[in-house]
Structure formats: structure tokens, C-alpha cells
Amino acid sequence: MPPASVARLPVYLRVLDDLAASGVRGASSAELADLAGVGPAQLRKDLSHLGSHGTRGVGYDVVRLRDLVGAALGVGERSALAIVGVGNLGRALARSAGFASRGFVVSALLDADPAVVGTVVGGVAVDDVADLGRVVAARGVSIAVVATPAAAAQGVCDAVVAAGVREILSFAPCALQVPPGVVLRSVDLASELQILAFHARARAARAARPATGATGPGRGGVPGP
Amino acid sequence: MPPASVARLPVYLRVLDDLAASGVRGASSAELADLAGVGPAQLRKDLSHLGSHGTRGVGYDVVRLRDLVGAALGVGERSALAIVGVGNLGRALARSAGFASRGFVVSALLDADPAVVGTVVGGVAVDDVADLGRVVAARGVSIAVVATPAAAAQGVCDAVVAAGVREILSFAPCALQVPPGVVLRSVDLASELQILAFHARARAARAARPATGATGPGRGGVPGP
DNA sequence: CTATGTGAAGCAGTTCACAGCT
DNA sequence: AGCTGTGAACTGCTTCACATAG
């Protein structure tokens, strides 16, 4: 399955969950695509990677499709998370309600600061990052969230990989190296803002020099990543 | 400039900043690309969109290039941010140190909860979201960060657009509609975890049925978005 | 000789358009 | 008739390979 399609499955799942909760039984690709913010053809192709589960001439069974997409994403298998780095962001993630509702359980919090180790955040005690291997093994952690400063991120990353974790989500503002077979996703909040700032600057430049080719302002918003 | 190239500029900027801080004067595309986690040809092509600023046979002047990329991203023009939604995530963002160091100033915090309005977070007082238009105009906000629950996000989004904001970063777990000309970027933390869960599931399935074609595990980590 | 800048080739993802099923 | 599932066309990003400049 193409990575781009995988990245859209969570969006479809949310749309399907909402519809199912509203009691809607069936929906066409056009309706679903509209709610998901993509094109109907793209939604159909994405779903086709999971097999043929629509009914021609009718559409999709919302509940059936939700269960299918949910199964592909491992919903219902309650993944154990370890959050490494209990700073502002780590704390917010630990307390975030959105995770539990999607099948993720914050099972471990780790930090290097002795002042933080031993405190309880969101009902979970903070352990010393030195015990990372033991904690990860004991609690069956399958996904690690790296929320440390950049300087510590690569070391933490190596440690969680050594502990057997194969999926990592990093918020550290730096490029991380992982061995083959480990899946790493990075989210950098400052970079997101800088990308927006680039567009703000481009718009300002455009406004200062109003006419170059077309007269009107460039059309179309920029869609998500 | 292609959106994919724009999205990498912040990475290059960080690498260049680090090198400049370390006193490094010059660097080749290969060295920079290595630090940035991309290929050398890609880095050269990305930079070429900003003009020819390297020296053939030598490489790039680190400080000069940093200033160039920084200028493209509007560093030094201190963008004013408004964070709408002062929950766990909004609070963490408001207190985050990484923004100020990159030229972003949290100039406004807004929330709908009367218990939160009037409190001070990270040195900034929380205003009522009903005053959004006034606050945005008075403080020259250029970028809005939406950190509200999904149900409130579209309304907030419409309000900030009506207030004249043209760049929005959303953390709400839903698709948002913006008019043409407004740049929207969305980051959904739960989706990121579900994408990782998908890979964890795929790996588990692979392990259960060890041989299909090649024997070894699939190579290569999955790079960032 | 070294390393950039860039057309050309290659590849992945998206969109189109229609065959096929209900 | 209506809508899915999918090969085919298309678009845009990445990688290659080399002419070019120092």
C-alpha cells in the first residue's frame, strides 16, 4: 500500500466514525470524500487497496467500512506508548484525551531531569530515562514518542530502538537516523510555522508588486502535508 | 517554488544555523544534505530556486546561505501568533521556547471557557474568543494556531479568516475548509500515531507469515511527511 | 580536479474516464 | 440509471549525469 494512501486512512476512519455515530448507514465515495477533504477518485483508489468493499450503484456500508479501516490501523489492539521527554509538550501529550479514544495508552513517561522523575503526570509516574530498556520491555511499549530537546533526540532514538521499539514519532527539531526496518515520523512545529511564514512573505511581496502576468491574487489554498 | 522544496527550507535553515554557531565557514551540498537527511542533488535543486549562491568547485558559504534561506522564510520579521484554544496543547505551545528563538511571538491567547479567560499562560493573558477580531487586529497577528476540539475548529477557522489572518496552523482532528488564498496546514497527532500503528500491524502480519518473496525484512525507514 | 547548477530521465501519486456490477 | 473499481493519462517530485565555473 502506498505511503500516501496509508497517511489518509486515519482521516477516513474519523469521517466514518462520525457518520456511524450519527446513525448514517450508507455513503457514496463522493460524500465521504467531501467530508475527508479529498477527491472521490482518490478515496476510492485508497480504499481499493484494502479490497473491494463497496456496492456498485449504491456506495459503502458505513459501519462495515469503518470496521475495515479500523482493523487496518490496528484500532482495538490498544497500543502502548512511551513518551520520552516530559517537558511542556510531553506533558500535554500525556494528558491529551484524544489518544485514549483512539486506542493508544500512555504506558510510560521517561525523563532525564531528576526533578521530574518520580512525579506523576496524567496518572502515570515518570521514570528515569536510564531505565528505558527495562520499562519498555516490562510494559510492552510498541510506539515511542520523542519529545526531548534536539540535543538529546538521537541518543533517545538509539535507546528506544535498542529496546526493541520499531515505530517512533519524533517532535525534536532535527533529522534523526534510524536503522532499516524502523519507521520514523517527524513533526516539527517550528518548521510548520516557518512554512506558513514563507507564504506570508510571498504574499507580502506579491502585494507590493501587484502585477506580474495575472492581475488577481493566486487562487487556491495549500492543502495539508 | 514547489511546495515540497518550501517544506524543506526550515530543515536547511536549522542545519545552517547549527553550523554557523559551530564556527564552520563553508560546506558542500553533500555535507549539508547529510545533516539535513536528504540527497545532495535534492538540496542543490531546492537551493537553486533561491538563485545561484554556491561557488563551483568549493561549496556554500554557510553564513551567507543561512541569511539567504532565513530571509526567504521571513526570519527577523517577528511574526505575531494567536493561539486559539488554551487546553493542554495550546498551553504547551504558549510556553514553548522553540518559537521565540525562531522569530515567532505568541501575541494572543484565546479561549471560549470563562474559567480560562483572564488567566495568564506563558506571560500572555487569555482573551475571550468572542473578541478574536479585535485582538487579532490590535496585535497585528499574522498566523493563527487552532488548538481547539474538532467541534469548534471550523468556526474558529472562519473567524480568524474573517479577522484577516491568511496563514493557519491547525491541530484539530478534522478537515477544515478555507477560502482560496488562505494557507492552511494541519497536524493531527492521533493520525500520526495511527499511521505508525498501521506499520506495526503490517510488521506483525509479516512476522506471522515469514516468507513471501524476499526472506529479509523490508529495508529503509519511512522518512518524514 | 572539485563541486555547483540544471536539463533529461525516471518514478510516484493523482486524476480521468469508462468498463462492470447492482 | 447509479456508483464502484481500475487501467490509462497526466502531473509533479526526485534522481541522475554532465556541462560549466572556479
The pLDDT tens digits for A17-26 are 999 999 999 9
Q: Which nucleotide is closest to B31, CA to C1'?
A: C3
Is there a binding annotation on residue A164? no
Domain ranges of chain B: 3-72, 79-189
Percent of chain A with pLDDT over 90: 87
Could you say which DSSP state residue B212 is in?
B
The Å distance, CA of A62 to C1' of D2, is 18
Number of H helices, E strands in chain B: 9, 10
Nearest Cβ partner for B190 among A99, A177, A219: A99
pLDDT beyond 90 at A216: no
pLDDT beyond 50 at B214: no
* Residue A11 at interface with chain B, using a CB cutoff of 8 Å: yes
Question: Tell me: the pLDDT tens digits for B26-52?
Answer: 999 999 999 999 999 999 999 999 999
pLDDT at residue B219 in the model: 36
The fold of the B79-189 domain, in CATH, is Rossmann fold (3.40.50)
Contact A143 B190 (CB under 8 A): no
Give the integer Cα–Cα distance in Å for B97 and B76.
Answer: 16
pLDDT beyond 50 at A224: no
Percent of chain A with pLDDT over 70: 93
Output the known binding site of B.
Answer: 85-90
Residues 127..146 of A with a Cβ closer than 8 Å to B: which?
142-143
* CATH assignment of B3-72, among 3.40.50.1820, 1.10.3720.10, 1.10.10.10, 3.60.150.10: 1.10.10.10
Continuous H helices in chain A: 3-21, 29-36, 40-48, 62-72, 88-95, 97-100, 132-139, 150-162, 189-208
Question: Tell me: the pLDDT tens digits for A96-147?
Answer: 988 888 999 999 999 999 999 999 999 999 999 999 999 999 999 999 999 9
How big is the CA angle at A62 (ends A59 and A67), to the nearest 5 degrees? Answer: 125
